[in-house]
Amino acid sequence: MRFLKISIFLVTLLLPRLSDGQEAGIVPAITSAGQKADSILAVPSASQEGTLAVPSAGQEVDSVLMVMFTGDIMGHDGQISSAYDDSTGTYSYDSVFKYVSPLLSAADITIGNLEVTLGGKPYKGYPAFSSPDALALACRDAGFDILTTANNHAADRGPKGIARTIRVLDSLNIRHTGTWTDGQARDTLSPLMITENGISLALLSYTYGTNGIVVPPPAVVSYIDTIRIGNDIKASAERGADLTIVSVHWGTEYDTLPSAEQERLAAAMFRSGADIIIGSHPHVIQPMTASVDSTGLTEPVVWSMGNFVSNQRQQRRDGGAMICLELTKRGGQVFITEAGYILTWVYTPIENGKRKFCILPCSEYEDNPEFFQSSSDYNAMMDFVSDARRLLNVSNTGFGEVISALDMWMMQVK
With bands split at pLDDT 50, 70 and 90, how would you rate the model's confidence at 365? very high
pLDDT interval class at 110 (50, 70, 90):
very high
Strands 358-361 and 333-347: antiparallel
pLDDT value of residue 59? 58
Position with higher pLDDT, 40 vs 406: 406
Count of CB atoms situated within 10 Å of the CB of 53: 13
Q: How far apart are CA 359 and CA 167, in angstroms?
A: 27
Query: What phi and psi, each to the nearest 5 degrees, are found at residue 265?
Result: -65, -40
Note the helical H segments in 98-203. Answer: 101-106, 133-142, 158-171, 183-189
pTM of the model: 0.88
The mean pLDDT of 138-167, rounded to a whole number, is: 98
Q: What is the pLDDT of residue 217?
A: 95
345's CB contacts (< 8 A; 6+ apart) are: 318, 319, 359, 360, 362, 380, 381, 384, 385
Q: Is the pLDDT of residue 285 over 50?
A: yes
Give the angle subtended at the CA of 378 by the CAs of 376 and 383, to the nearest 5°. 90
Q: Which residues contact 174 (CB under 8 A, 6 or more apart)?
A: 136, 139, 140, 144, 145, 146, 147
Tell me the pLDDT tens digit for each residue of 213-231: 999 999 999 999 999 999 9
| pLDDT digits 0-9 by tens, 304-356 | 999 999 999 999 999 999 999 999 999 999 999 999 999 999 999 999 999 99
**Calpha distance 93→308 (Å, rounded):** 14
pLDDT of the residue at 413: 59
Tell me the CA distances in angstroms from 120 to 84, 117, 132, one per residue in order: 15, 8, 7
Residue 221 near residue 178, CB atoms below 8 Å: yes
| Segment 54-102, tens digit of pLDDT | 334 455 778 999 999 999 999 999 999 999 999 999 999 999 999 999 9
Lowest mean pLDDT among 3-7, 70-74, 387-391: 3-7
pLDDT band of residue 208 (cuts 50, 70, 90) is very high
Beta partners for residue 333, in sequence order: 330
* Confidence at residue 338, expressed as pLDDT on a 0 to 100 scale: 95
| pLDDT value, residue 177 | 98
Q: With contact defined as beta carbons under 8 Å apart, do 304 and 284 qualify? A: yes
* CB contact set of 76 (below 8 Å; sequence gap of 6+): 125, 126, 310, 311, 312
Domains of the chain (ranges, CATH numbers): 63-351+375-400 (3.60.21.10)
What is the structure's pLDDT at 58?
54
Amino acid at 143: G
In this prediction, residue 188 carries a pLDDT of: 96
The DSSP bridge partners found for residue 403 are 410
